[in-house]
Amino acid sequence: MSRIKKVAVYSRKSRPDETDEMLQRQLSMLIEMCVKNDWTFEVFSEVGSSQDINRPELNKMLAKVQTYEYDAIVITDQDRLSRNTGGFGQIKEILTNYGVQVVTTSKVYDYSTQEDDMMSDMMSVVAKQEYLNIKKRLVRGKRQSAKDGNWVGGKTPVGYNYDHKSKKLQLNEYAPIIQRIFALYLSGKTSTDIERIFELEGVLTPSGSSWNKARISVVLANPVYKGTVIFGKTKVSKTSKKPSGAPRQFKTEATEQIVIENAHEPIVSIEDWETARDIRESRLTKAPSSRIGKVNFTGLIRCALCNRTHSFQRRKGKELRITSCQTRIYADDGTYTVCANKGVKLELFEKVFYASFSQYVDKLEQYLEDVKANMKMDDSNPADEKAILTSAIKKIDQQIKKVQQGFLAEVYTEEEAQKEIKQLKAHRQQSETQLERLDTVSKDDQIDKLQNTLNRLKEILTGTTKMETKEVNHLLTSLIDHIEYKRIGDHKAGIEIKIHYKG
């Protein structure tokens, strides 16, 4: 059980024979429990007869759970959350994903230790529970900092530097480029025009990349350039998924966001920024997905119907295709039918695949950033802890020797000695496990390795990879077990895929 500090107390009538007095009594019992354990608490109580469908207090509480507000939920018993299993499943999934335990008067439930998610073993630089705690701490810290008007938006936007002392953004030498992007756009140029102009002039981003259309659009849409800081604009749904398996992203309600105007010196005026936004909205068309590079999925695509691995073909002068599944399904009389799964242009498959895979890469990036940020925040000295543990292990070894000597000197019976040694060895094992975890050198190595993988994945996603097809295939194969692929119907039929990650 991880440490509980802040909880939500939830109460509602779940049986028809319950009276208001009984509910009051239950509530005060739960509050007493919080006080006794020194937990900070917030009460959510449904009044009147509450059915599963309309429970505003529960929804309010769950919304706050998703901002990492609580460590646990305190209830009299699990069925207060939902009487129908479907509803409970969804609540459980939210609690699992945000590392929130459920404390009842008789038991503590920690769902997150029971379930796994798509995180592959590549990501397990820190244990999952530990990671959830890190995440909680960082998000809470960030929210508070955002409320103070500080820059907590993650990556520093081009044109600004982050000043560690004031925790605010400050203009840098790239600010004029941002100004120019807006000026060109307001003069009627499109982002494609601006891309061409910058290419001719040799204007580059701070990292030396070219200013492509996508980067320019990101600049134009970022309110940071009019001096505004917005925290918590979107959240990734932990329960709702797209058909491809990727989590849906939601815009948060305005009330959930923290918006600070005039947080730092603007690069463009509010009027200019808003005019640019209006132009953008009027021009809004679907951007063609141009970032797909040539990637070899050899050995990764499996038929969702019969599990056979699909192969590829290229007819003369034509594009690369995934072949249809040709598995023969024999009947007893020797006749057969062919598996109904169809082939598709590889290009089409790639579009669907990368849309889903980019979510995984985003998650990997977020994870890595969190772990890094936590390492920076962590002021404990691993060297000290290491020394303490090492000496503890030495002491245990000495104690074991003493018991062995005691047995030889007939101070202990054989049974007593064995029991004692068993206990000491268990202690030793514990200390060794802790020591392994403290091995920060290997942790750094792991992080470097993960960063390297992440960089290569991002290059694949942006179509800037210099890797050969074989290497791309190797990299994908190290992360993905297989991709379940389904396409049934006529030539217009869509594709369904599900990526099964390793780990």
Q: Buried (b) or exposed (e) across 410-435, using 16+ Cβ within 10 A? A: eebeeeebeebbeebeeebeebeeeb
**Chain centre distance of CA 108:** 25
| Closest separation in Å from C-beta 341 to Zn ion | 4
Q: How far apart are CA 53 and CA 86, in angstroms?
A: 12
Q: In a 3-state reduction of DSSP, which class is residue 112? A: helix
Residue span 325-354 as binding mask against Zn ion, x where in contact by CB under 5 A, dash where not: x-x-----------x-x-------------
Alpha carbons within 13 A on the beta-carbon side of 328: 6
Place of tokens 């998924």: 241
How far is the C-alpha of 143 from the C-alpha of 139, rounded, in Å? 6
Beta carbons within 10 angstroms of residue 147's beta carbon: 12
CB of 339 to Zn ion, least distance (A): 3
Query: At its nearest, how many Å lie between Zn ion and the CB of residue 118?
Result: 24
Q: Mask 261-280, x = binds Zn ion (CB under 5 A)? A: --------------------
Residue 488 lies near Zn ion (rule: CB under 5 A) = no
| Residue 188 one-letter amino acid | G
Q: Which residues contact 156 (CB under 8 A, 6 or more apart)?
A: 162, 169
Q: Which is nearer to Zn ion, 54 or 307 (CB)?
A: 307
Draw the binding track, 220-249, toward Zn ion (x: CB under 5 A; -: no contact).
------------------------------
Binding mask 402-441 for Zn ion (x = CB under 5 A): ----------------------------------------
In angstroms, what is the minimal distance from the CB of 326 to Zn ion? 8
Nearer CB in complex with Zn ion: 135/310: 310
**Binding of residue 259 to Zn ion (CB under 5 A):** no
Residues 114, 111: Cα–Cα separation, whole Å? 5
37 Cβ partners below 8 Å, 6+ apart?
4
| Euclidean distance between CA atoms 231 and 179, whole angstroms | 23
Counting Cα atoms < 13 Å in the Cβ hemisphere of 364 gives: 23
Nearer to Zn ion, 301 or 393 (CB): 301
> How many CB atoms within 10 Å of residue 454?
17
C-beta closer to Zn ion: residue 282 or 335: 335
CB of 473 to Zn ion, least distance (A): 22
Q: Does residue 486 bind Zn ion (CB under 5 A)?
A: no
Question: Which of residues 251 and 500 has its CB atom nearest to Zn ion in the complex?
Answer: 500
Q: How far is the CB of 138 from Zn ion (least distance, A)?
A: 45
Annotate 150-179 with DSSP letters as a single string.
---SSSPPTTEEEETTTTEEEE-TTHHHHH
Q: How far is the CB of 248 from Zn ion (least distance, A)?
A: 29
SS3 235: strand
Between residues 101 and 341, which has the closer beta carbon with respect to Zn ion? 341
Task: Quote the least distance from Cβ 333 to Zn ion, whole Å.
Answer: 21
Residue 486 CB, nearest approach to Zn ion (Å) = 9
Q: What is the size of the binding site for Zn ion (CB under 5 A)?
A: 8
Q: Which is nearer to Zn ion, 339 or 475 (CB)?
A: 339
Q: Is 204 in the site for Zn ion (CB under 5 A)?
A: no
Nearer to Zn ion, 306 or 368 (CB): 306
Report the nearest approach of Zn ion to the CB of residue 304 (Å): 8
Of 136 and 310, which has the nearer Cβ to Zn ion?
310
Quote the least distance from Cβ 354 to Zn ion, whole Å. 23
Give 221 or 338: the residue with its C-beta nearer to Zn ion: 338
312: β partners: 322
Q: How far is the CB of 490 from Zn ion (least distance, A)?
A: 17
Q: Estimate the crossing angle of helix 440-461 against helix 346-377, to 10 degrees.
A: 150
Residues 289-328 that bind Zn ion (CB under 5 A): 303, 305-306, 308, 325, 327
- At 220, list the tokens: 């134009």
Q: Which is nearer to Zn ion, 236 or 339 (CB)?
A: 339
Alpha-carbon torsion (208, 212, 215, 221), positive or negative: positive
Write the CB contacts of 47 (distance below 8 Å, at least 6 apart in sequence): none
DSSP letters, 129-146, are HHHHHHHHHHHHHHHHHH
Q: CA 500 to CA 147: how far, in whole Å?
A: 39
Q: How far is the CB of 324 from Zn ion (least distance, A)?
A: 9
Q: CA–CA separation, 77 vs 183, rounded Å? A: 61
C-beta closer to Zn ion: residue 134 or 325:
325
Residue position matching structure tokens 């999934």: 93
How would you classify the pairing of strands 160-163 and 108-109? unpaired
Amino acid symbol at 383: A
Q: Which is nearer to Zn ion, 303 or 424 (CB)?
A: 303
Q: From 294, 285, 389, 301, select the one nearest 344 (Cα to Cα).
A: 301
Residue ranges in contact with Zn ion by CB under 5 A: 303, 305-306, 308, 325, 327, 339, 341
